[in-house]
A and B are shown apart, each in its own frame.
Chain A
Amino acid sequence: MRILAVASQKGGVGKTTVALNLACSLARRGAETLLVDADPQGSIGLSLVGRISSSRGLAECLRGEARAEETVLKTRIACLKILPAGNLSEADHEMWASALADGSAFGRLFRGLLNDYSILVVDTASGLCASTLGVLKNANAVLLVVQAEPLSTRSLPQFLDMLRALRRNNHPVGLVGVLVNMVQAKLSDSTAIAQEILNMLPPQLALATTIPRDPMFLRASAKGVPLGLLYRKPHPIALLFDQVAAELEPRMGLSKTEEENEAEPLLD
């Protein structure tokens, strides 16, 4: 199993949207996927309609009040399940932070899920907060989301420094890609910063797919659904996450073997 943390140094860069839609795409492409909401604000729950916002989840699992398999929610996508953030009162936030920072609580939880999923996609809280550190100490891989605007990119080195420190302390987490999000094609500063970031990245870390800023995200958010389920026939923007998933699969060791992935004839 691979544990992919979707992270960013700065808030508001679209991390939760990326985690949600990427998890949907990975699942649609056949990977048994568990989307874990490790943001204490429960951002995944806030993005989706349904019973998720009041459901038990990660908080209860980490407090020892529930087992993960009892709190995991099935979705309309066969291979996708969600572990919600659970119920966390304001008073619990400090406990949450101190309990998660060393990573052992996440480690126990993730080990318990080892056999059931091909990949865990973990939506993290922004920045270098305790819960994010706890996740990163147990993740194999990080997808870094960067908004195509200068302020977001300027904090990129800080995040990488933190990642380097984790690796130097023998945590195996590594960067698998940097996804440039919210590109505004009509704004030269936005496209320029996107190109600048891509030019600085080696091919192994750059993603050829970038995500535009598009009203469809607002519409999906208003409806409380992932982009892929906004319409019966998915909007073209939703297909971009299929491309991101396809780019990440080989980097995550999720590619099918050549035999499994053989061409199929169109005609008998």
Chain B
Amino acid sequence: MKPNLSWIDPDAFSIVLSEVSTDPEPSPTPPTFSTLDIGFWPENRPGEAARQHEAVPAAGETQCRPAFVPRKGKLQDRFENLIEWILLQLPCEQVFLADREGLILAHRAAEPELVAASSWFLSSWAKVHKYLNPEGLAAHSMQLHGDRLLHLFQGAAPWGQMSLGVVSEKPLDRNLTKCIQDALQNTIKEE
């Protein structure tokens, strides 16, 4: 446990919080307290993704159809729009969007333990990533039990880091990875 006045372990605390909060309606206004800026993957800061050209798949790569159309308005609607679009791209067992604390913001059949573990993984991986490959994609895939794969994406929203997790048996090729990453960034960018 970190030495602090409340004697609360922030990591354990965030896991419990993710399990006890009501269906979240994230505020589009950044909170008044400071947020942690992990500061990696500079090319995907809010607004950058919109300026990127549409990905052109190489031969044999997956076409993203339909193309992602970001929805305007409330964050929760935008999150749902992204999840619905992902479900059209590949067969998914779970899809979730979470904030940097691992709090689920929108999901389909997400296991809270997996979301919490993803949050830990991404926060640790950010440091490794910054050192090894600061220009590369902030997406990772890992094998779970059996043939299930967990695909993780990280995005920078105005209110902090966000993660998108997709559990599927289908591996992602370069183009689909790029499409999903762009869709995430377009969803969470400032309007």
A204 interface neighbour in B8, B19, B24, Cβ under 8 Å: B24
Q: What residues of B have a CB within 8 angstroms of the CB of A197 in the complex?
A: 6
Instruction: Judge whether B26 and A199 touch: CB under 8 Å.
Output: no
B22 interface neighbour in A174, A196, A202, A208, Cβ under 8 Å: A174
Q: What residues of B have a CB within 8 angstroms of the CB of A199 in the complex?
A: 33-34
Q: What residues of B have a CB within 8 angstroms of the CB of A268 in the complex?
A: none
Q: How far is the CB of B63 from chain A (nearest CB, A)?
A: 36
Instruction: Judge whether B159 and A201 touch: CB under 8 Å.
Output: no
Instruction: Judge whether B33 and A175 touch: CB under 8 Å.
Output: no
B124 within 8 A of A: no
Instruction: Judge whether B12 and A192 touch: CB under 8 Å.
Output: no
State whether A202 and B6 are in contact (beta carbons under 8 Å apart), knowing that A160-B20, A174-B22, A208-B31 are contacts in the complex. no
State whether A193 and B6 are in contact (beta carbons under 8 Å apart), knowing that A157-B13, A161-B16 are contacts in the complex. yes
Contact residues of A between 56 and 70, Cβ < 8 Å to B: none
Contact residues of B between 7 and 64, Cβ < 8 Å to A: 7-8, 10, 12-14, 16-17, 19-27, 30-34
A203 interface neighbour in B6, B8, B13, B26, Cβ under 8 Å: B26
Instruction: Judge whether B103 and A154 touch: CB under 8 Å.
Output: no
Contact size range, A: 20 to 34
**Bound: A235/B23 CA distance, A:** 34
Contact size range, B: 20 to 34
Instruction: Judge whether A251 and B99 touch: CB under 8 Å.
Output: no
State whether A204 and B20 are in contact (beta carbons under 8 Å apart), knowing that A150-B5, A156-B8 are contacts in the complex. no
Smallest Cβ-Cβ distance to A195: which chain B residue: B33
B20 interface neighbour in A163, A198, A206, Cβ under 8 Å: A163
Q: How far is the CB of B149 from chain A (nearest CB, A)?
A: 27
B101 within 8 A of A: yes
Highest count of chain B CB atoms <10 Å: which of A163, A201, A204: A204
A97 within 8 A of B: no
A116 within 8 A of B: no
B159 interface neighbour in A164, A195, A203, Cβ under 8 Å: A203
A167 within 8 A of B: yes
A250 within 8 A of B: yes
Highest count of chain A CB atoms <10 Å: which of B4, B16, B21: B21
B25 interface neighbour in A156, A157, A251, Cβ under 8 Å: A251
Smallest Cβ-Cβ distance to B100: which chain A residue: A202
B33 interface neighbour in A160, A163, A206, Cβ under 8 Å: A206
A153 within 8 A of B: yes
State whether A174 and B23 are in contact (beta carbons under 8 Å apart), knowing that A160-B16, A202-B99 are contacts in the complex. yes
Instruction: Judge whether B4 and A196 touch: CB under 8 Å.
Output: yes
**Bound: A164/B15 CA distance, A:** 10
Residues of B near any A CB (own CB < 8 A): 4-8, 10, 12-14, 16-17, 19-27, 30-34, 99, 101, 103, 105, 159-160
**Would you list the 3 A-B pairs with minimal beta carbon distance, nearest first?**
A174-B22, A153-B6, A204-B24
